[in-house]
Amino acid sequence: MSRVEKVYVNSTHELITKSDLYFMIGSYYESKDAEVDIFITNPNNSTFAEKNREKLEQYFKKKVNILTVKDDAKEEEIVKTKDSTSKGTLYGIEYLLGDYINTPFFIGNSNMVAYNVCTEVLEQKGRSNLVFIYGPTSTGKTHLLQHMVYKALKSGINVYYNGATKFLDELKAYNYSEKEFDKLVKFVKKDNKKIFFLDDFQLIDQDKIQKHLGVIFEFLNLIKSEGINAIIASDKQPKEFAVLPERTVMRLIDGYTCSIETPEYVVKKQYIDYFAKENKVSIPDYVANKICIVSGNFRELRNWLFGFIASANSNAQMDNFVSLLTASGKKTSSKSEELQSLRQLLLEYYGLTDYRQQADQKKKSHKIGKIDNILYYLFQSIIDTNTLRSILKIDRRNHSYSLRSGEAAYNKIDDDALKDNIRRVTEFYDSKRS
């Protein structure tokens, strides 16, 4: 019997470059005579694999068996959410996902307001009992909700958590008659300390469930009248829903509405550092910077990171991975993103934390001014001058001064590793012009 070889899927594999099956990064497969066993190493990607089974079979021209590789440590983490360590009771779903509750929720300007508002609700200090959080897909909304659910359970608060459509399925039984409405009231008021968490609320916006939307309105009315806390997450704002009646939309925006934006460089870098530590890998700074720039959301960020791990077996694979990363950067990065990676390195060097907070002050601090001048000097031949002035808020009258000052400050940097990283990053951006 011939030995079956494991083939690991990295970012240069044809499944990625030609078939766009990005969920396969970090997984592996074993091809046999008549079938292929595909081993999904990230449990969150199993659903994507099932949905793309036909595409996978077309690629391999064989029957495909989709298997999830069990990670005993992660399985144990999931079980912990169901045991007696929590003081509160979880209603709705059976358990939370370990990937969400055991991964820190990294905070930046993109999600700070949403995080603070949810925390206020948990502490019973909320400015509104209804919070509606919206933002693009894969920006951390589900992570935030499960993070808050777990904190609430640990604090002894009973929680209802579910996807919006499954929640609606539960409410359908309590529809319009007075008798059934009494059941709805009892369901909602079952525990006066209960917090309702509803995820993926955008799935409500479907014609096929339009006839059941009246019960949603009744539920929101109860939330308001009884002062019961509820946190709702959605990919779109209330006013963007097509099938929701105006009265229901008005109930949704009657609370506190806030957004979670695409994660900025600082948040992505925090996640990369955590990922590297958890997976016991060393990711060079210049690679981490590139990944931050080319990844628009957390799903893309994780895919690139799994691709890095899969490519770390050989120098040739790593070279291919970096080439693909560079090519992707040419297509995706914006001018402001191009500066963020170097800005963060310089902030750390000068002992600062948040550029935006410092820069929003009426008068820039001396160190922030120095950083902006260094960036102006480094990028003046890479980025259009007018664009660069606009990003860094440098007056054209200060052009010569900023260049001289930036060059002088750069030459005084006595950290060879920092200068090497700066060189790598600027070379990366300069290559995009070719």
Q: Tens digit of pLDDT for each residue in 335-367?
A: 555 566 677 778 777 877 554 444 444 445 777
- Is residue 430 very low, low, confident or very high in pLDDT (cuts 50, 70, 90)? low
* Whether residue 201 sits in one domain with residue 121: yes
| pLDDT of 382 | 76
Query: Rounded CA gap, 315 and 76, in Å?
Result: 35
Mean pLDDT of 52-62: 89
Mean pLDDT of 177-184: 64
Do 270 and 291 contact (CB within 8 A), yes or no? no
* Whether residue 279 sits in one domain with residue 133: no
Tell me what percent of the residues of the chain surpass a pLDDT of 90. Answer: 15
Look at 36-50, 74-88, 93-107, 313-327 and tell me which has the smallest mean pLDDT: 74-88
* Whether residue 225 sits in one domain with residue 112: yes
Closest CA to 24 of 6, 5, 42: 42
| pLDDT of 200 | 92
Asked whether the CA dihedral 17, 21, 23, 26 is positive or negative, the reply is negative
* Whether residue 369 sits in one domain with residue 396: yes
Domain residue limits at 50: 6-70
- Is residue 72 very low, low, confident or very high in pLDDT (cuts 50, 70, 90)? very low
Mean pLDDT of 293-318: 82
Mean pLDDT of 56-84: 63
Domain assignment present for 163: yes
Where among 70, 103, 122 does a domain terminate? 70
Query: Rounded CA gap, 158 and 90, in Å?
Result: 6
- pLDDT tens track for 365-396: 777 888 889 988 888 877 778 878 877 888 88
Look at 114-118, 206-210, 305-309 and tell me which has the smallest mean pLDDT: 206-210
How far is the CA of 324 from the CAs of 63, 134, 222, 335, 424, in angstroms? 30, 32, 53, 20, 16
| pLDDT of 196 | 92
* Whether residue 280 sits in one domain with residue 387: yes
Q: What are phi and psi of 61, to 5 degrees?
A: 60, 35
DSSP β-ladder status, 63-68 and 28-31: unpaired
Domain assignment present for 348: yes
Domain assignment present for 214: yes
Asked whether the CA dihedral 117, 122, 127, 130 is positive or negative, the reply is positive
* Whether residue 153 sits in one domain with residue 38: no
Query: Rounded CA gap, 295 and 297, in Å?
Result: 6
Question: Does position 328 have pLDDT exceeding 60, yes or no?
Answer: yes
**Of residues 134 and 328, more confidently modeled:** 134
The CATH number assigned to the domain holding 182 equals: 3.40.50.300
* Whether residue 209 sits in one domain with residue 80: yes
DSSP β-ladder status, 35-40 and 28-31: antiparallel
* Whether residue 315 sits in one domain with residue 209: no
Where among 226, 259, 292 does a domain terminate? 259
| pLDDT of 43 | 64
- Average confidence score pLDDT of the chain: 79
* Whether residue 111 sits in one domain with residue 55: no
Question: Does position 209 have pLDDT exceeding 70, yes or no?
Answer: yes
Domain assignment present for 95: yes
DSSP-derived secondary structure for 341-367 = HHHHHHHHHTT---HHHHHTSSS--HH
Mean pLDDT of 19-48: 77
Where among 239, 259, 279 does a domain terminate? 259
Domain assignment present for 254: yes
How far is the CA of 35 from the CAs of 30, 64, 89, 199, in angstroms? 9, 6, 45, 38
- pLDDT tens track for 252-296: 988 899 999 888 888 898 899 999 988 888 888 888 888 888 888
Query: Rounded CA gap, 294 and 330, in Å?
Result: 8
Total of domains in the chain: 3
Question: Does position 79 have pLDDT exceeding 50, yes or no?
Answer: no
Q: What is the pTM of this model?
A: 0.63
Query: Rounded CA gap, 202 and 205, in Å?
Result: 6
